[in-house]
């Protein structure tokens, strides 16, 4: 009996030891067997990697600094948010942008009528925008207006009759050609020239159209109607509004503007060189505009050179309170419209003074105003592939006689209100003559 008990105890003891050591034995076997195959490393680099969908936010556009730099100024990248682009050829314009480190710009392009794929030319309208975007992808943020100044819209009564239809038809036609996401906004809407309130139903109809198409809205308010701005931005919380103002209007409504910028996520302000260059109650960019480009350039340069320090000091005083109060809501642009102002002697000075004014802000705010705020809100520019645009770079400007012949052939009335058929006929006629239409550029 004792032998039996001892035998059972021995078996239990041996079995318990075996259970405790099993894991160790298994590990040692796996390590010691010479013929065991190692676990293969994943071959990630050899497998095809699916590229991410390209978007303006993740595309590989690399920001660049200017070649024109100034001691003690802000010398980093710029994003221009209010560019009147109709008075300069895009090729020469980009050369001066590159010199000045302007990486991106919101272009206020004049696009009239209903664009057609058969009449896209590189010197105007939707064709000009597409051509610029194809040559400079991710840099252009296209806004558009009908190419008629606010004064003329007021004088001819177009706000009450034709303006909404122009915007709607042009936008629809442009989207069919370039895609829904190509046009990024309406602007500039020159409400400063109109007698009606800024929240007039006809203007709200334009904002409704922008909202329905998920695009931005840029307009120019005045101090006497500034209360309307609050009503608009509160009524359309999902629409981004970009505004700029004349200096005198800014001074009269600065406290209200600061409050609205701080309280509303959808309102932004463009601090523009045309209004930084302010002397004795006037924007000197427009003061010296004339039919004589050489004379205009000379007068502007002389005035600027004699007043540079006071111009900078006054502009810092005017705009720093906005930046201090709402550093994420103020952006920079030029708002330069007159043809003479695209001469490097003028344009470079407009950017130069802007860089010194930005340097007058707190260091933590400088890059925000210069480009980061705009980049965060409006993103990088658009792209356009596979759309053919007729290159008119070698064509001469149309003569008065050539344009009159096309007016007569297409039965164009003495008015800017044309049907889609008349627009197409006129464009086809000028294309047949291999000449470029001479357009007048509005300022404001």
| Model pLDDT for residues 33-84, shown as the tens digit of each residue | 333 333 333 333 333 333 333 344 445 689 999 999 999 999 999 999 999 9
> CA 334 to CA 348: how far, in whole Å?
11
Among candidates 124, 117, 82, 410, which has minimal Cα distance to 275?
Answer: 82
Read off the pLDDT of residues 2-18 as tens digits, 9 standing for 90 and up.
444 433 343 333 344 33
pLDDT at 226: 97
Checking 27-34 for CB contacts under 8 A at 24+ apart, the result is none
Nearest to 242 by CA among 261, 259, 223, 255: 261
Neighbours of 248 (CB within 10 A): 14
Q: Is the pLDDT of residue 90 over 60?
A: yes
pTM of the complete model: 0.84
Mean pLDDT of all residues belonging to the chain: 87
Q: Rounded to 10 degrees, what is the CA torsion of 26, 30, 35, 37?
A: 130
What's residue 422's pLDDT? 85
- Dist CA 330 CA 325 (whole Å): 10
3-state secondary structure of 271: strand
Cα distance between residue 110 and residue 85, in whole Å: 8
% of the chain at pLDDT higher than 90: 78
Q: Is 55 exposed, middle or buried (0-12, 13-18, 19+ CB in 10 A)?
A: exposed
Give the closest residue to 94 by CA, choosing from 117, 64, 55. 64
Gap between the Cα atoms of 59 and 161, Å rounded: 42
Give the bridge partners for 144, in sequence order. 109, 186
Query: 350 with 334: CB under 8 angstroms?
Result: yes
Query: What is the spatial distance between Cα 300 and Cα 349, in angstroms, rounded to a whole number?
Result: 10
Sequence-distant (≥ 6) Cβ neighbours of residue 289 within 8 angstroms: 296, 338, 340, 341, 443
Distances 11 to 3, 6, 17, 73, 155 between C-alpha atoms, Å: 12, 9, 10, 90, 112
| CA–CA distance, 229 with 219 (Å, rounded to integer) | 10
**pLDDT reported for residue 59:** 54
Residue 283 backbone dihedrals phi, psi, to 5 degrees: -80, 110
Across the range 420-429, mean pLDDT stands at 85
Helix axes 90-99, 125-135, angle to 10 degrees: 40
d(CA 297, CA 347): 10
Maximum Cα–Cα distance for the chain, whole Å? 133
Mind listing the pLDDT tens digit for each residue in 367-419?
Answer: 999 999 999 999 999 999 999 999 999 999 999 999 999 999 998 887 766 77
Q: How confident is the model at residue 424 (pLDDT cuts 50, 70, 90)?
A: confident
**Which strand (E) or helix (H) includes residue 231?**
helix 226-235
Give dist(CA 159, CA 413) in Å, integer: 19
Q: List all residues 6 or more positions away from 392 whose beta carbon is below 8 Å from its beta carbon.
A: 121, 122, 123, 436
The per-residue pLDDT for 108 is 96
For 245-250, what is the mean pLDDT? 98
| pLDDT-based confidence at residue 421 (cuts at 50, 70, 90) | confident
Q: How confident is the model at residue 32 (pLDDT cuts 50, 70, 90)?
A: very low
């Amino acid at each position: 009996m004792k032998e039996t008990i001892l035998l059972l105890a021995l078996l239990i003891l041996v079995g318990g030891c075996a259970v405790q050591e099993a894991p160790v034995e298994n590990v040692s076997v796996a390590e010691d067997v010479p013929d065991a195959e190692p676990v293969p490393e994943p071959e990630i680099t050899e497998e095809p990697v699916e590229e991410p969908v390209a978007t303006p936010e993740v595309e590989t556009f690399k920001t660049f600094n200017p070649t024109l730099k100034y001691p003690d100024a802000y010398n980093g990248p710029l994003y221009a948010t209010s560019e009147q682009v109709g008075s300069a050829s895009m090729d020469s314009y980009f050369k001066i942008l590159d010199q000045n480190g302007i990486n991106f710009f919101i272009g206020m392009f004049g696009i009239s009528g209903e664009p057609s794929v058969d009449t896209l030319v590189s010197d105007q309208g939707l064709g000009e925008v597409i051509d610029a975007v194809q040559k400079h992808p991710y840099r252009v943020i296209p806004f558009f207006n009908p190419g008629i100044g606010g004064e003329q819209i007021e004088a001819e009564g177009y706000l009450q009759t034709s303006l909404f239809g122009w915007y709607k038809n042009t936008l629809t036609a442009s989207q069919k050609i370039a895609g829904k996401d190509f046009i990024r906004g309406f602007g500039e809407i020159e409400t400063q020239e109109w007698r009606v309130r800024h929240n007039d139903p006809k203007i709200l109809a334009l904002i409704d159209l922008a909202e329905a198409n998920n695009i931005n809205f840029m307009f120019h308010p005045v101090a006497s109607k500034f209360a309307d701005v609050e009503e608009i931005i509160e009524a359309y919380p999902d629409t981004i509004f970009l505004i700029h103002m004349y200096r005198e209007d800014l001074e009269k409504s600065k406290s209200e503007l600061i409050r609205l910028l701080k309280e509303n996520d959808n309102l932004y302000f463009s601090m523009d060189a045309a209004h930084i260059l302010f002397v004795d109650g006037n924007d000197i960019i427009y003061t010296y505009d004339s039919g004589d480009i050489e004379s205009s350039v000379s007068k502007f340069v002389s005035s600027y050179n004699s007043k540079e320090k006071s111009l900078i000091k006054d502009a810092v005083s005017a705009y720093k309170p906005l930046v201090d109060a709402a550093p994420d809501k103020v952006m920079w642009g030029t708002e330069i419209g007159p043809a003479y102002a695209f001469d490097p002697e003028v344009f470079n000075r407009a950017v130069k003074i802007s860089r010194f004014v930005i340097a007058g802000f707190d260091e933590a705010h400088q890059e925000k105003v210069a480009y980061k705020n705009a980049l965060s809100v409006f993103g990088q520019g658009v792209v356009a592939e596979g759309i053919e645009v007729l290159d008119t770079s070698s064509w001469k400007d149309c003569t008065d006689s050539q344009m009159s012949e096309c007016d007569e052939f297409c039965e164009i009335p003495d008015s800017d209100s044309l049907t889609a058929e008349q627009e197409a006929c006129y464009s086809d006629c000028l294309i047949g003559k291999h000449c470029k239409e001479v357009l007048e550029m509005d300022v404001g």
